[in-house]
Structure 1
Amino acid sequence: MSLLFFGKDPETDEDHCPTVWVDDENDDLVLQGWKIDGATENKCLQVGPISDTEAVIRVPARMVPQIRKACDAAERSAELR
């Protein structure tokens, strides 16, 4: 597996940054974000359970441009497969 890097949160330090990648084998987005708080988790659980193999993370809105670029790249790559 190889991850294509698209960006880190430009407003956090280099050690604790939400980050976005695309897995070049299957075009999945891979996101690093902040752990959610209990209140946010409770709101998410109203929709359904969060399995042990899943995580809900928070990614700042200021990263939308990087996420959009990653989504566009993943979509283009998937169309070529």
Structure 2
Amino acid sequence: MAALKFIGVDPETGHSGSPTAWVHTVTRDILFQSYIADEETRQECADNPAPGHALGIPAGETVIRIPAHLIPLLREACDAAERGF
């Protein structure tokens, strides 16, 4: 059995370069292939950390951009993870 359950692809981008969502069937982690945030957005995130966190973006992390029109896809992924598919 595959460890990833495909949820969906951005319907507005055609057949290549599409943001895509999966849910890991064991950990229930949500995985997104999406756009890398531009440098200005990354810097803004790095300069405005969550309370109790250091400035910057830690090694092994990045900022991704999920377009607002993909909120339904994100909800579907969250629902699949919560209900266990």
Bin the TM-score by the shorter chain: 0.7 to 0.9
Contact 1:5 1:21 in 2 (8 A): yes
For residue 74 of structure 1, report the CA deviation from its aligned partner. 0.5
* TM-score using structure 1 length: 0.86
> For 1:57 and 1:14, how far apart are their aligned partners in 2?
20
Question: 1:1-81 counterparts in 2 under 5 A?
Answer: 2-46=3-47, 47=49, 48-77=55-84
Q: Number of residues paired by the alignment?
A: 77
Structure 1 stretches of 4+ moved >6 Å: none
* TM-score using structure 2 length: 0.82
Instruction: Please list every run of 5 or more consecutive structure 1 residues that lacks an aligned counterpart in the other structure.
Output: none
Amino acid at match of 1:10: P
More helix by share: 1
> For 1:57 and 1:76, how far apart are their aligned partners in 2?
25
Identity of matched residues, %: 42
Contact 1:9 1:60 in 2 (8 A): no
